[in-house]
Amino acid sequence: MVYQNTLKFLYSQLPMFQRVGIFAYRADLKKTKMILDALDNPHKNLRTIHIAGTNGKGSTSHMLAAILQASGYRTGLYTSPHLKDFRERIKVNGKPIRKSYVIDFVQRNKPMLKKIKPSFFEMTVGLAFEYFKEMEVDIAVIETGLGGRLDSTNVIYPEVSVITNIGYDHTDILGDTLEKIAVEKAGIIKRWAPVVISETNPITAEIFNEIAELRSSKIYYADQLLQVKNLRQPFDSTGSLTFDVWKEGKALLRLVELQLNGNYQTKNVLGVLQTVEILREKGYEISDHNIKKALNTVKDLTGIMGRWQTISEAPLTICDVAHNVDGIKEVLKQVELTPHQHLHFVFGMVKDKDITKVLKVLPKNATYYFCNADLPRALPANELQEQASMFKLKGAVYPSVKEALKAAQKAAEDHDDLVLITGSTFVVAEIV
């Protein structure tokens, strides 16, 4: 009960982007630095890996953390948003931060928090860095929340920075062109620290090259240095994706089994493995055996959820936290690879996304179950249905995510149908 009251204080007192959107966004690092100063700057002696990108940064963060953990390093992991419990955001060796630590941190720092008036995210960054310091982690994998240049996590000097990709998301904050968004993401590139780009995009590569050169940062395009070959689908929806990874015309790793079984994860894997190559050059002891072990057990090691995750076999029900047009396109490619008769689409979004771009790519022959997550940012289901109808997407409105899922599964039972839940992290959060 004390823990729940602590969370209630945080949610009610601190503006939270997850719930209210742009109102909670802070376009500078001033208050983050004030919190860290008050905590005696716990981040300054942390070894870190910093990860930004439009899609895939969460998966990349979890895979890197799993590899470091499997290699014997005490590994911190900071990600956002959480799906079920606030403590998912801050983990050490896959274990969420203790409830007692959250309670104690808030109680000790209430006067400071009331004085500085940070956002929820700014406070959480301070909490994470202090916890990692106290837990004496060997290295921490830090995922940006939004953007990069002005993200609250961008106070660290990492061993290596990783930018997964650039796409259209949060355009009201980061900019309405890929070039503008790339500049924001590239803000995590630090002087002399190498940077890995998981996916090459000719539109943004020039920007990354220019900023990396300006900061004397060696840049690596993972998809130009490494290749996935012999990709094999899992035998069933809960199996592992299997593939080989090649470098310079030779096999680097054979028969890699990835527990995250969406094909789109192979793009993230290349960024992960190129980052591991850099860490090895820096003296980190990471064996091929431990890489393969970590990738085959990444869910078990880190607790990652919501990435092409099967939540029921009968009927086959899969969820994915894809929430922008590029992410949705990748999920739809995976749908095409999944045997099924008819697609039942449990669908909800938040207000501040480019909904039109998403609706344009959705299949017209699916049955839709429109819903909205229980938070202020959610787009009301009836408004979503109205917009969807303009793109000839047909379906009914449901009062909750769970009611929509129940209806979809009932309609799909006794058929070889597929139920898919996607469109918003927060919709997925209500059913995993």
Q: Where are the domains of the chain?
A: 2-302, 309-429
- Say whether pLDDT at 87 is over 70: yes
Mean pLDDT of all residues in 174-181 = 82
Q: In what order do the strands lie in the sheet with 139-143?
A: 95-96, 90-92, 75-78, 139-143, 48-52, 160-163, 195-197, 219-221
- Say whether pLDDT at 157 is over 70: yes
Residue 298's φ and ψ, nearest 5 degrees, are -60, -35
162-176, 223-237, 304-318, 360-374: segment of lowest average pLDDT? 162-176
Q: Is the dihedral of CA 389, 394, 396, 399 positive or negative?
A: negative
pLDDT value of residue 38: 97
> pLDDT-based confidence at 23, cuts 50/70/90?
very low
pLDDT value of residue 17: 46
Instruction: Name which CATH class applies to 309-429.
Output: alpha beta
* 175 or 372: which leads in pLDDT: 372
162: nearest Cα among 302, 295, 56, 306: 56
Mean pLDDT, the chain, as a whole number? Answer: 92
What whole-number distance in Å separates Cα of residue 432 and Cα of residue 420?
A: 13
- Say whether pLDDT at 20 is over 50: no
> pLDDT-based confidence at 176, cuts 50/70/90?
confident
Q: Is the dihedral of CA 363, 364, 368, 370 positive or negative?
A: positive
What whole-number distance in Å separates Cα of residue 375 and Cα of residue 327?
A: 22
Residue 291's φ and ψ, nearest 5 degrees, are -60, -50
Q: Which amino acid is at 311?
A: I
**Based on the number of CB atoms within 10 Å of its own CB, is 375 exposed (0-12), middle (13-18) or buried (19 or more)?**
middle
pLDDT value of residue 19: 46
pLDDT, tens digit, for every residue of 188-202?
Answer: 999 999 999 999 999
**Beta strand pairing call for 90-92 and 75-78:** antiparallel
Residue 132's φ and ψ, nearest 5 degrees, are -65, -35
CATH architecture of 2-302: 3-Layer(aba) Sandwich (3.40)
Which two tokens mark 299? Answer: 């869910």
Question: pTM here?
Answer: 0.94
pLDDT value of residue 270: 98
pLDDT value of residue 415: 84
- Say whether pLDDT at 279 is over 90: yes
pLDDT, tens digit, for every residue of 350-395?
Answer: 987 789 999 999 999 999 999 999 988 899 999 999 999 999 999 9
Following DSSP, what letter does each residue of 128-190 receive, concatenated?
Answer: HHHHHHHTT-SEEEEE-SS-STT-TTTT---SEEEE----S-SHHHH-SSHHHHHHHHGGG--
pLDDT value of residue 169: 63
223: nearest Cα among 165, 284, 177: 165
pLDDT value of residue 16: 55
pLDDT, tens digit, for every residue of 329-350?
Answer: 999 999 999 999 999 999 999 9
Percent of the chain residues topping a pLDDT of 70: 94
- Say whether pLDDT at 210 is over 80: yes
